[in-house]
Amino acid sequence: MLRLLNIFKNKQVGLALGSGGSKGIAHIAVIEYLEALGIQVRMISGASIGAVIGAVYAAGSLPQLKKDLQRMQRREMMSYFDIVFPKSGLLEGKKVVEFLKKYISEKATFDDLRIPLGVVATDLYNGQPVVLKSGRVLDAVRASISIPGVFVPVSYNETLLVDGGVANPLPIDVVRGMGAGITIAVNLHPTVQTKIIRKKITALDSVEIKPQLLEIAKSGDTIDGSFVYDRTQGRKWLQSVERWLGVGDRTKQEKTFPNIFEIISQTIDIMGYMNTMMMLKYNAPTVLIEPNLVDLPTLDFLQVQHALDEGERACERMKHELIKKVKKRS
């Protein structure tokens, strides 16, 4: 009788990828590890960076994204942060979408993906998670990565959508609702960073932009209406933005006041940690993988190898569980 029940038991493997900014690069290593073990993922849910990696994987472009991230230089990374003043967020997000178009077709819908995908965003007005499973994939991903205060929110059905990690940072329930009988979850919030460190405050850290340094482009000056500034002042402004983002040499940092991105990032991480603990309490996955990357700044996408290595180490720590509870049952 028990054997008969096992025959009909749902053995489809679902993968839930959590939010966490640049920490989510570890998701790539996790997916590669599962493939190497012979574990076939049948469906994916993701919030924020988890939605990005899940969507790129479902589109079949993950190897190329990994390769491009590994060779990305600081200047290229900074070019994707399109700062706007004043707006509902500090970054427009259009350049990030342009970057993602290299891996996900602009016209691709969820029906075009190789496996089912559930993208989680958050309704800004009622705080409820919104699960997107139809329409254009890039639109859904853009909504899911809208970190409050950092990226401009996305308009959707008479409401505004922000980062999926706000309401559901580890969407185990979503992938289970999609039909997964066996669930693997990658939690990027195993704990909260207990201290925020950064370089000493300098004049540039205040990001005081003088009118003579930047001016709004007049019609015809640029295609996209971006800021116009001379090269010398442009370099200084770029350094200011880098400090905002917490990107750069972290070997000589001293304790002092955190910058705006660090405050937002730490707040989101605390909220993500608390919400994740609630999710794990009521929706425990079959196997939980937890890379330890709490020290990695949310928007620092230059420490790629560090994140990949930790993602692999996290899988190694759970290898026995993956084989016993997933591979042998699926």
Catalytic residues: 48, 163
CA dihedral in degrees (28, 32, 38, 44; nearest 10)? 20
Which residues, at least 6 apart from 60, have a Cβ–Cβ distance to it below 8 Å? 114
Determine the Cα–Cα distance for residues 108 and 139; give it in Å rounded to an integer: 10
Token pair for 268: 């989101």
d(CA 193, CA 241): 23
> Is beta strand 159-163 parallel, antiparallel or unpaired with respect to 117-123?
antiparallel
The answer for residues whose C-beta is within 8 angstroms of residue 231's C-beta and 6 or more apart is: none
Structure tokens at 145: 């990565």
Assess whether the previous peptide bond of 285 is cis (omega < 30° from 0).
no
Count other Cβ atoms within 10 Å, centred on residue 321: 14
CA separation, residue 81 to residues 92, 151, 175, 227, 254 (Å): 8, 10, 31, 13, 26
288-299: burial string, b at 16+ Cβ within 10 Å, e else:
bbbbebbebbbb
Point out which residues pair with 161 in neighbouring strands. 123, 154
Count of CB atoms situated within 10 Å of the CB of 317: 13
Here the tokens at position 153 are 């929110």
CA 116/CA 44 separation, integer angstroms? 6
